[in-house]
Chains A and B, each alone.
Chain A
Amino acid sequence: MSSPAPSAPRPAAAATAALQSALAAEHAAVYGYGIVGANLAGSRQAAAMTDWVAHQVARDTLEAMIRSRGSEPVPAAVAYRLPVAVRTPGQAVSLAVLLEDRVATAYLGLVALSDVSVRQFGALQVRAAALRAAAWRGSTVPFPGLPASALAAPRPRPS
């Protein structure tokens, strides 16, 4: 592994940390979709299975990216504390939306890196998560993955 450019603030370490955060979000999504699928039936369960597989693929990709940087990927937690109890199909869909929103936010962390290829990978994953979230939500949002704290209050426009 080459040493970081002297002018940048340790970009390699920043990249690994951001990749690990994205991986942690994917671990949570893989866990969460198991619960989502268990509470759905029919075509919605099939959709949950498809998304579950997509998150497994993304997790494997991130693990490979982290290993290629000479680091050990963070392991999945044994269990995750869910933000809401999931006992109904409606709650399962809400959890799927939340999982995708978290994943999108984590991938935006990759978009902030200086490595152009990692940026592009992150942006494509933000898009994939936004598409899945919109399908579960049944509607779209203006800023997938961006928390309100990252958005400026609108300022007055000149007429």
Chain B
Amino acid sequence: MAAHPTRRVVLAAAAALPLAGASGCGGVNVLAAPPRAAPDVALLRSAIADEQLLIARYVNVLHGAGNPGGSTSAARRGGAAAALAAALEPMLAEHRAHLAQLRSRLVVPAGASPWPSGRAPAGPAAPTAPGAAAAFLRAAEQAAAAALLDRLPRAPASLAQLFASISASEATHVPVLDTVILDTERAAR
């Protein structure tokens, strides 16, 4: 842990809040700017690798959705694929935002490469059927959200907050994917 976590994680003035007790007291914490000190680099690198893998899964699913292949029931699959892509794009954008924030926290020693292995991983092949693809991503989101929570005990305060926020964001993708799976099942009937 950092010697002075309060330097990184600052409590904001209650005056800044639009919703405060009418008595004038109370309020919630607001967080500080990212830290200058180097956080746990290994912890951050593993979180970055997980986020890259999640992005690769989305990219692979979207690539498959854009190229459904096969000629049987192509029209139906095309419509489902388009609906899948429309649902996935905003979540992929959020994962890219997660990755950018995680990378911005990476403070590496001078001379060392900040990018461990160059390019992002290719990720496993994704199912092409929309329902199966959504289920594939749902499982990946749950695993990624849980992995971030597992990293909390070892993370410096500010990084723990970022991990918890990203984990919560990934958890909110699960019901979205549940809806996609349900819609796909309904359309297939």
Q: Do the two chains bind?
A: yes
* A residues at B contact (CB < 8 Å): 7-9, 14, 17-18, 21-22, 24-25, 27-28, 32, 74, 76-83, 98-99, 102-106, 108-109, 111-114, 116, 119-120, 122-124, 126-127, 129-131, 133-135, 139-147, 149-155, 157-158
Query: DSSP majority for the B interface?
Result: helix
The interface residues of chain A lying within 8 Å CB-to-CB of B46 are none
Residues of chain B whose beta carbon lies under 8 Å from any beta carbon of chain A: 1, 3-6, 8-9, 11, 17-23, 25-34, 90-91, 93-94, 97-98, 100-101, 103-105, 115, 145, 149, 152-153, 157-158, 160-169, 171-173, 175-176
Question: Closest approach, in angstroms, between the C-beta of A92 and any C-beta of chain B?
Answer: 14
- CB within 8 Å for A99 and B19 given contacts A24-B26, A142-B94: yes
Is the CB–CB distance between A147 and B169 below 8 Å? no
List the B side residues contacting A25 at CB < 8 Å. 28
Across the interface, do B101 and A108 meet the contact criterion of CB distance under 8 Å? Answer: no
Q: How far is the CB of B127 from chain A (nearest CB, A)?
A: 23
Whether B168 pairs with A80 at a CB distance below 8 angstroms is: no
By a CB distance below 8 angstroms, the chain A residues around B91 are: 140
- List B contacts of A103 (CB < 8 A): 28
Expressed in whole angstroms, the Cα–Cα distance for A113 and B103 within the complex equals 23
Q: How far is the CB of A85 from chain B (nearest CB, A)?
A: 13
B28 close to A154 (CB less than 8 A): no
Contact of B32 among A9, A74, A105, A150 (CB under 8 A): A150
